[in-house]
Amino acid sequence: MRKSLNILVLTFALLFCWSCSKPTIPEPGAAALTSPENKNTCIPMFTDEATGVVNFKWQNSLNTDSYELVVRNTVSRTEQKKAVDLTTITLVLERGYPYTWWVISSSNISAVKTKSEVWSFYIEGIEQQTHIPFPAQLKTPLEGQIVISSSGQINLEWLGSDLDNDIAYYQIYLGTNPNRLQLFQDNLSIPNYSVNLSVDETYYWKIVTVDRNGNKSESVIQTFRISS
């Protein structure tokens, strides 16, 4: 009798714990960008000498109630941000500049906000002879990555591109404060570089791309940490 009672109490306790466990809240997925195409010249729908109307599109992401579109002029570093419930929106942008854009997915039941890939495009200017390079895409380390290296030596890799195919060199900016990055290496002809840094330290970095006409573009700033 006592054994049966103990089993009953244990079963009730397990059922109580299971029923009171906190349910998993699904996080919003990353939106898949569609248009403007990555690393291409964008042809605006309507245009004048100074500006053009660009239509942005992306696919629905899982567990998402709303989106925020972010478009950055990579020369002036100015941004336009627009909240939208649909998966398309138009913006008026200045011509003759490269842009990067991404979408942030949000859910009404989750505090997590999920960022899509970052794409680039270029809007032609009137009678424009040369193009500003696209911002470099930082490949390694990944954003927020913890890099295991007992010596502190790691490899930085990125991807550069230019419509004129006339990239002259790259500059690496690096530091422990994203607001005070220092020029770490200049005149790099290849998109990778091996560095020796302090272990158990968090770093921020960006790449400046320079073409043969002196046009420049800056990548986004990403962060990583070196651990032993």
Q: For the chain, what are the domain ranges? A: 33-123, 134-227
The arithmetic mean of pLDDT across residues 26-38, rounded, is 94
pLDDT digits (tens, 9 = 90+) for 70-93: 999 988 889 999 999 999 999 999
All residues at 6 or more sequence positions from 63 whose CB lies less than 8 Å from its CB, including other chains: 26, 27, 28, 29, 107, 110
Q: What is the pLDDT of residue 126?
A: 67
Instruction: Compare 11 and 74 and report the one with higher pLDDT.
Output: 74
Q: What is the pLDDT of residue 48?
A: 77
Helix H or strand E encompassing 70: strand 66-73
The arithmetic mean of pLDDT across residues 112-121, rounded, is 93
- As a whole number, the mean pLDDT across the chain is 87
The arithmetic mean of pLDDT across residues 15-26, rounded, is 60
Judge whether residue 180 has pLDDT over 80: yes
Long-range contacts of 181-190 (CB under 8 A, 24+ apart): 181/205, 181/206, 181/221
Q: What is the pLDDT of residue 128?
A: 62
Q: What is the pLDDT of residue 18?
A: 46
Judge whether residue 20 has pLDDT over 70: no
Q: What is the pLDDT of residue 206?
A: 97
Judge whether residue 59 has pLDDT over 50: yes
Q: In which residue are the tokens 């002196």 written?
A: 214
CA dihedral 46, 35, 81, 133 (to 10 degrees): -90
Q: Which amino acid is at 20?
A: C
33-123 and 134-227, same CATH topology: yes
pLDDT digits (tens, 9 = 90+) for 85-116: 999 999 999 988 889 999 999 999 999 999 99
In the chain, which residue ranges form alpha helices assigned H by DSSP? 2-20
The arithmetic mean of pLDDT across residues 183-202, rounded, is 95
Judge whether residue 15 has pLDDT over 60: no
Judge whether residue 9 has pLDDT over 50: no
pLDDT digits (tens, 9 = 90+) for 128-170: 667 889 899 999 999 999 999 999 999 999 999 998 889 999 9
The arithmetic mean of pLDDT across residues 210-221, rounded, is 91
CA distance 151 to 122: 41
Q: What is the pLDDT of residue 5?
A: 45
Arch. (CATH architecture) of 33-123 = Sandwich (2.60)
Distance of CA 149 to the CA centre of its chain: 25
pTM score, two decimals?
0.65
Q: What is the CATH code of the structural domain delimited by 134-227?
A: 2.60.40.10
The arithmetic mean of pLDDT across residues 194-220, rounded, is 94
Q: What is the pLDDT of residue 127?
A: 63
